[in-house]
């Protein structure tokens, strides 16, 4: 027993009980290759389960259409008919599921940008800045997304006059800004946590090397925060993507709105379940790999103790 333990501790260097931080990429280097990403976010069993479900469903679907005596309108045909609309929106307009994804991208970028400044504000030396940043963070973290959406959509005017010209603000841009607000607050909180987790000795050694506070922050502390922030940041991206259909409540023609339009046009209750599941499956296929990758990164980056 003892011998075996000794042997293994000599042989496998990567498994240790000591509190160590693993290298950034699974292959050991500093950067992730596309292969690493695929390996970490994709499971072959998952793909097989999807294919099996799809095959079973197609069989049941065509059988049901035969039984009901309307073989020309199977559920599959109806789904295919409406898919372009649900995916890309009405011709000549920007909408559909693609809009959901676009909104999630822009809101995430905007929210991250603002959140980083707010997060730095939370650790500022200035008492006033710190308190205001803290208050803004808490306010937007604790308010429901839908309430924020309503506020921005109803209180921001739908067109503004700048220098005599009237500019229309499309609904989806306002919705994007509204969704960026809670992201901003949460990124701010993630950043504050990450900065707090950097050992104080880092600050001290930077000071002894004559770095100014700004230099220390941007050249020493923040680069180290990036790695710790990635998993929670990706988690928030998933939550944001799952919240984008909320914009349909406020009349933006995203995937959800158009699905309901399609259902209304068909007017047949047996299409309800497949249509909703169809739309949900897009969100699922988009989000599941990201969630898996996040989980594994979390496990990988976790300091053992």
Cβ closer to other proteins: 186 or 216? 186
Q: How far apart are CB 146 and other proteins at their closest, in Å?
A: 4
- Find the binding residues for other proteins in span 275-294 (CB under 8 A): 275-277, 279-280, 283-284, 287-288, 291
Between CA 217 and CA 226 the distance in angstroms is 12
246 within 8 A of 150, measured Cβ to Cβ:
no
CB atoms within 10 A of CB 119: 27
Distance (Å, whole) CA 78 – CA 75? 5
| Residues 147-166 as x/- pattern, contact with other proteins by CB under 8 A | x--xx--xx-----------
269 near other proteins (CB under 8 A): yes
Start-to-end CA distance of the chain, whole Å, equals 24
> Which CB sits closer to other proteins, 217 or 256?
256
* CA gap 227, 225 in Å, rounded: 6
Q: Please, which residue, 98 or 249, has the CB nearer to other proteins?
A: 249
Q: Does 305 bind other proteins (CB under 8 A)?
A: no
Give Cβ neighbours of residue 162 (< 8 Å, ≥ 6 apart). none
- CB of 48 vs other proteins, minimal distance in Å: 13
Of 224 and 287, nearer to other proteins (C-beta) is: 287
Task: Fill in the per-residue mask, 85 to 124: x = in contact with other proteins (CB under 8 A), - = not in contact.
Answer: ----------------------------------------
21 belongs to the binding site for other proteins (CB under 8 A): no
Q: CA 68, CA 46: separation in Å to the nearest integer?
A: 33
The CA–CA distances, whole Å, from 255 to 12, 135, 140 equal: 50, 35, 26
Q: How far apart are the C-alpha atoms of 129 and 115, rounded to whole Å?
A: 14
Scan residues 229-258 and list those touching other proteins (CB under 8 A): 238, 241-246, 248-249, 256
Report the alpha-carbon angle 67-68-70, nearest 5: 110
Contact residues: other proteins, CB under 8 A: 139, 142-147, 150-151, 154-155, 238, 241-246, 248-249, 256, 260, 269, 272-273, 275-277, 279-280, 283-284, 287-288, 291
């Amino acid at each position: 027993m003892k011998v075996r333990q000794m042997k293994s501790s000599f042989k496998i260097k990567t498994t240790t009980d000591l509190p160590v931080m693993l290298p950034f990429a699974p292959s050991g280097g500093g950067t992730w290759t596309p292969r690493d990403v695929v390996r970490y976010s994709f499971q072959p069993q998952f793909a097989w389960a999807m294919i099996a479900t799809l095959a079973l469903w197609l069989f049941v679907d065509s059988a049901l259409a035969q039984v009901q005596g309307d073989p020309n309108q199977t559920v599959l045909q109806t789904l295919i008919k409406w898919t372009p609309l649900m995916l890309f929106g009405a011709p000549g307009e920007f909408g559909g599921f693609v809009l959901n994804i676009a909104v999630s991208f822009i809101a995430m970028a905007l929210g991250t940008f603002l959140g980083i400044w707010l997060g730095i504000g939370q650790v500022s030396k200035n008492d006033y800045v710190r308190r205001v940043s803290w208050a803004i963070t808490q306010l937007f973290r604790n308010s429901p997304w839908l309430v924020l959406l309503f506020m921005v959509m109803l209180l921001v005017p739908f067109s503004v006059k700048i220098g005599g010209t009237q500019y229309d603000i499309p609904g989806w841009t306002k919705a994007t800004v509204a969704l960026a607000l809670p992201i901003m607050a949460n990124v701010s909180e993630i950043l504050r946590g990450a900065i707090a987790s950097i050992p104080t000795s880092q600050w001290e050694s930077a000071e002894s090397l004559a770095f100014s506070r700004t230099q220390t922050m941007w050249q020493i502390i923040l680069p180290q925060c990036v790695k710790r922030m990635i998993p929670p940041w990706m988690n928030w991206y998933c939550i944001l993507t799952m919240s984008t259909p909320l914009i349909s409540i406020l009349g933006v023609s995203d995937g959800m709105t158009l699905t309901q339009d399609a259902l209304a046009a068909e007017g047949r209750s047996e299409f309800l379940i497949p249509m909703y599941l169809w739309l949900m499956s897009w969100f699922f296929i988009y989000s599941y790999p990201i969630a898996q990758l996040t989980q594994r990164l979390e496990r990988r980056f976790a300091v053992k103790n």
